[in-house]
Chains A and B, each alone.
Chain A
Amino acid sequence: MQMIMPDSILLLTFNANRLNVLVALLICGALVAYFIWKGRRGGLYLRPISGLSAIDEAVGRATEMGKPVLYTTGLGKMERVATIASMNILGNVARKVASYGTPLIIPCYDPVVMAVAQEVVKESFAREGKPEAYRSDNIYYVTQSQFGYAAAVDGVMVREKPAANLFLGTFEAESLILAETGNSIGAIQIAGTDSTIQLSFFIVACDYTLIGEELFAASGYLSGDPKVTGSIKAQDWLKVLITVLIGIGVILSTANLNFWQNLFGPK
């Protein structure tokens, strides 16, 4: 392999068009770091999220009925933050499932997600002291065809009749196909996605829906790790900051002063 080494190799130029993004990122990073530090000292409160509180109920119901729990991360690949957030929730769900001795079925759209899910579930079973109860066959690759995947998951629902369906991750047009099939078999359904379009379908068809940042907050909420909880608290303060900035922008724009708007707009 020939390496091209031009004269300008050491020429570094800061992209000034992205200065606003850098400032926002630094503010964001500083707040996250501060609240992580504060979180380590304890005493941070997170409001209850009904969708996450319902996970215990869903797993408990599946155990009582002697039926499995179905978990899907949707169509997202591993590099998507929603999939990472879903894996964080999966770790906690798997620990509960392991402690109750309930089967957990995870059909995967992506082979990398499958490998990560297998590792997460295996580790959770080991942590609960039940490594022998782990079944790698229950976490399997299906297909990379969107509606092929929907058909396969629907088939699993109809055949296995899971008592609880968890749809947490990235979903597209197949969201309603999955959620309505789950509804027809009478499963308790908890959903969460970063797609605003699919959220409306999940809200209608599922019992609980994690809206917006609730999916990303789930990890801290379920694990109770003060460092993660601290970063979630930072998100709340950032929202307050953004609301104030928007408020100032509305007032100034109404007064026909557009410099504020230009400050945040694309360069």
Chain B
Amino acid sequence: MLLKLPLIIVAVFGLFMLVQFFVEAPFLDHTYQEILDWVQIIYLFTLWVGAINLIKLHLKKSTHKKEAPYSVVTLSGIVIMLFFGLIQGKEVGSVFDWIFKNVQVSLQASMFSLLAFFVASAAYRGFRARSTEALVLLSVAAIVMLGRVPIGDLISGLIPDFANWILNFPSMAARRGILIGIGLGTVATALRVLLGIERTYLGR
């Protein structure tokens, strides 16, 4: 029964969503909205699970010499944000808002900025002309890159047109081929889950 209950829940709610997609009825719409609200409510409670796990883990790690500094920073961050959030709220101008804008956002922006360097190093490795295929990739990439900057148009008006043609036809055809595969894979996996064939996500 312990195994069957989650499978029944998945099948019932999955089939409901399927029926609701094809059939229009006020009570179906109402139930659909009700389910979405409950998903949000349940999700909020799961955040507690995450937060408690995070705090427990870092309390344990803070006693290890090697990992202690990272855990102390993490725990301090949680305590400070919680303290100011509860005392002042998170309105514009509050300490919570100031820390968020000047620490959290700046750190996130720094991580995102690293992407530029990673793109350069990945492009260097990816575009090395070690084979015919790599040479084709390098040439096409060079044309597309030139077509996207003003200098490409200055060299020849044909370069931007050719770059657009590459993006809109061969590249798009390949992407759509992959997308069709992903779509079919998604449908097949969803059917397996609905029918109870796929149970690995339950740990079985």
Contacts and interface: CB of A to CB of B under 8 A. Distances in A.
Contacts of B122: 176, 179-180, 201, 204-205
A257 interface: no
A88 B193 CA distance: 11
Given A11-B26, A119-B203, A177-B118, A215 B185 contact: yes
Nearest to A194: B182
Contacts of A216: 182, 185-186, 188-189
A179 B25 CA distance: 47
13 contacts: A9-B27, A81-B189, A88-B200, A111-B51, A115-B49, A144-B50, A145-B108, A199-B178, A205-B122, A212-B179, A213-B185, A216-B185, A217-B185
Contact of A235 (B24, B43, B188, B201): B188
B184 interface: yes
Q: Give the size range of A's interface with the partner.
A: 35 or more
Interface stretch (A28-36, A41-49, A96-104): A28-36
Given A9-B27, A85-B189, A232-B188, A147 B108 contact: yes
B192 to A, nearest CB: 6
Interface string B174-204: 0101111110111111111100011011111
A12 interface: yes
Interface of A: 4, 6, 8-15, 18, 21-22, 25, 28-29, 32, 36, 78, 81, 84-85, 87-88, 90-92, 108, 110-112, 114-116, 119-120, 122-124, 137, 140-142, 144-148, 150-151, 155, 159, 173-174, 176-177, 179-180, 194, 196, 199, 201, 203-205, 211-213, 215-217, 219, 223, 225, 227-228, 231-232, 234-235, 238-239, 242
B178 A212 contact: yes
Nearest to B111: A147
Of B125, B180, B201, most buried by chain A (CB within 10 Å of CB) is B201
B112 interface: yes
- Secondary structure at the A interface, as helix, strand, loop or mixed, is helix
B54 interface: yes
B184 A122 contact: no
Given A14-B23, A204-B126, A114 B121 contact: no
- Secondary structure at the B interface, as helix, strand, loop or mixed, is helix
Of B122, B190, B193, most buried by chain A (CB within 10 Å of CB) is B122
A150 to B, nearest CB: 6
Given A140-B57, A180-B122, A213 B184 contact: yes
A32 B191 contact: yes
A78 to B, nearest CB: 8
B98 to A, nearest CB: 18
Given A81-B190, A111-B47, A177-B114, A141 B54 contact: yes
A150 B111 contact: yes
B41 interface: no
A173 B104 CA distance: 18
Given A120-B203, A177-B111, A234 B188 contact: yes
Nearest to B192: A231
B81 to A, nearest CB: 12
A249 to B, nearest CB: 13
Contacts of B21: 15, 18, 21
Nearest to B127: A204
